Structures are given as C-alpha cells and as structure tokens.
C-alpha cells in the first residue's frame, strides 16, 4: 500500500491518496514475511515479474533516500534428490535465458558457498547439490515500509495509523466510501493491499476473489551475530534461513 501511494504521488502526480493502516506502519503483514528477494523461478512470466522486483530493490535505498538495508548475498537452494537436481537444471537454463544469475552447483560448490553446511550427512536429506542464485538477497521490511511512508508523506499522501477498515459504502458497482473505526472516508477509487487478507477485505464490498490464504510457519530467534553469509533454503524441508 505504501509503495503504491509513493508511486502514484511521485510518478503520476496523484497526491489525494490516503493509506489506512489498522495498526502501525510495518506492523501487519509487512512484519511477517521472510524478506527473501529473488527471481529464480521456472516460468518466463514469473522470472520476468520477480526480476523487476530484484532490480527495484537494487536501487530502492537511492529511490527513497532511506537505507532499506538491502543485502544481495545470494540464495542457495539445496537439493536432496536427483529429481530436484533435474528440476534445478531446468530452472537454471530458464533463468539464464531470462537474464538472471542462476546456476546449478555440485556438492563441492555448495560447500564452498556455505562451509557451515554438513556435507557428510548420508541420510535421506543428503545434500546432492544446489541452485545458486547470485541475484538473491534480503532487506529490512520495516525499513522498506518507513522509507516508502516518508517519501509518500513528503508528496502529500495522508497516512492514517490505527484506522481499521470495517466495510464499504457501495452504490451500484462503485465504492463511495470506506467505513473505518474512525468514521467514513469518501473515495473515488479503492486499492486493497492487505496481502493474505485481500479475500476478506474484498468480501466486505461484495467481491469474491478467487484466492485463499494459507499460513506458513516461521521461527524468530533473539538477535544473533550474522553467521550465514548466504540465504539458504531446502526444497525437501520446505524451509529457508
């Protein structure tokens, strides 16, 4: 939502924009993501879409005049089966064709990229190789939100925190106002940018979206001194660090 507000104001001159936030900036879905930024997908459409996202983050600190702590440290996805290795070869070739830095690495390559991994384990989760995506990185989600908020606010966008959307006033097929816990907000256009809650919010306006939200689980530790210098993920374990 903050990104859309920033782009509307900066690149399209649309400044009569209000961002409605149920809680506090960077406290909702923004604070509950794993911050992985990558473009190592398998379809041309997916690669092109996420490649543009990676390129955006590469220049985002300059764009916002705010350090979003983007670290392009690369992503290493581990393979524990031959089938996964075959799929990695397909993804690597498609990635190269689409202009991303993606390649398959063998066990030696994995060990060189991430020496802390146990390469001697011979069980069902033995590491056979990996997909190395040098373009992958991470950023601080709260810094991204604050940077967008600062730039949008400077350009006249109104940001209303602790403003919960409770419904819509609809006439025909048009939304006339957004109902909030602080009163109605008249509007000409509504943009729903609530991530996994898009289905529920759209339903308030009588619109049924063909999507559903299924939660993933993540563990958060106390702050630790960095000890992994790459992003590491495992297809078989459905996990990443």
pLDDT recorded at residue 222: 80
Neighbours of 11 (CB within 10 A): 8
Q: Are residues 87 and 170 in the same domain?
A: no
- At residue 226 the predicted structure's pLDDT band, cuts being 50, 70 and 90, is confident
Domain count, the chain: 2
pLDDT in tens, 58-69: 999 999 999 999
Q: Are residues 55 and 91 in the same domain?
A: yes
Contact 98, 51 (CB under 8 A): yes
* 220, pLDDT greater than 80: no
Q: Are residues 125 and 153 in the same domain?
A: no
- The residue that leads in pLDDT, 19 or 26, is 19
> For residues 223 and 203, what is the distance between their CA atoms, to the nearest angstrom?
39
What CATH number is associated with residue 192? Answer: 3.50.50.60
Instruction: State the average pLDDT over residues 102-114.
Output: 96
* 28, pLDDT greater than 90: no
Mean pLDDT, the chain, rounded, equals 93
pLDDT recorded at residue 196: 83
Q: Are residues 148 and 134 in the same domain?
A: no
Domain boundary among 77, 104, 139: 139
pTM equals 0.89
Q: Are residues 129 and 59 in the same domain?
A: yes
pLDDT recorded at residue 33: 80
Q: Are residues 22 and 85 in the same domain?
A: no
pLDDT in tens, 135-169: 999 999 999 999 999 999 999 999 999 999 999 99
- At residue 75 the predicted structure's pLDDT band, cuts being 50, 70 and 90, is very high
- At residue 238 the predicted structure's pLDDT band, cuts being 50, 70 and 90, is confident
Which residues touch 25 (CB under 8 Å, ≥6 apart)? 2, 145, 146, 149, 159, 161
87-96, 144-153, 185-194, 207-216: least confident range: 207-216
Domain boundary among 139, 170, 188: 139
* 217, pLDDT greater than 80: no
Beta strands in 22-157 (DSSP E): 36-37, 75-79, 102-105, 129-133, 137-138
> For residues 210 and 33, what is the distance between their CA atoms, to the nearest angstrom?
22
- Its domain, for residue 147, covers 1-32+140-219
**SS3 for 230?**
coil
Q: Are residues 127 and 149 in the same domain?
A: no
Instruction: State the average pLDDT over residues 4-16.
Output: 96
């Amino acid at each position: 939502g903050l990104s859309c507000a920033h782009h509307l104001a900066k690149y399209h001159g649309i400044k009569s924009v209000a961002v409605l936030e149920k809680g506090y900036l960077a406290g909702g879905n923004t604070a509950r993501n794993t911050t992985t930024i990558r473009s190592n997908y398998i379809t041309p459409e997916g690669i092109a879409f996420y490649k543009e996202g990676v390129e955006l983050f590469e220049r985002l600190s300059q764009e916002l005049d705010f350090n979003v702590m983007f670290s392009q440290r690369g992503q290493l996805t581990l393979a524990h089966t031959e089938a996964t290795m075959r799929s990695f070869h397909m993804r690597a070739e498609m990635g190269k064709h689409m202009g991303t830095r993606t390649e398959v690495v063998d066990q030696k390559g994995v060990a060189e990229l991430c020496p802390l991994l146990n390469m001697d384990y011979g069980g069902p989760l033995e590491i056979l190789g990996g997909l190395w995506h040098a373009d992958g990185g991470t950023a601080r989600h709260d810094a991204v939100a604050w940077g967008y908020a600062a730039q949008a606010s400077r350009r006249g966008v109104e940001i209303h925190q602790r403003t919960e959307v409770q419904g819509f006033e609809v006439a025909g097929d048009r939304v006339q106002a957004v109902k909030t816990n602080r009163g109605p907000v008249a509007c000409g256009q509504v943009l729903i940018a609530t991530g996994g809650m898009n289905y529920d919010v759209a339903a308030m306006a009588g619109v049924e979206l063909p999507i559903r939200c299924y939660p993933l689980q993540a563990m958060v530790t106390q702050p630790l001194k960095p000890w992994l210098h790459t992003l590491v993920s495992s297809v078989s374990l459905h996990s990443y660090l």
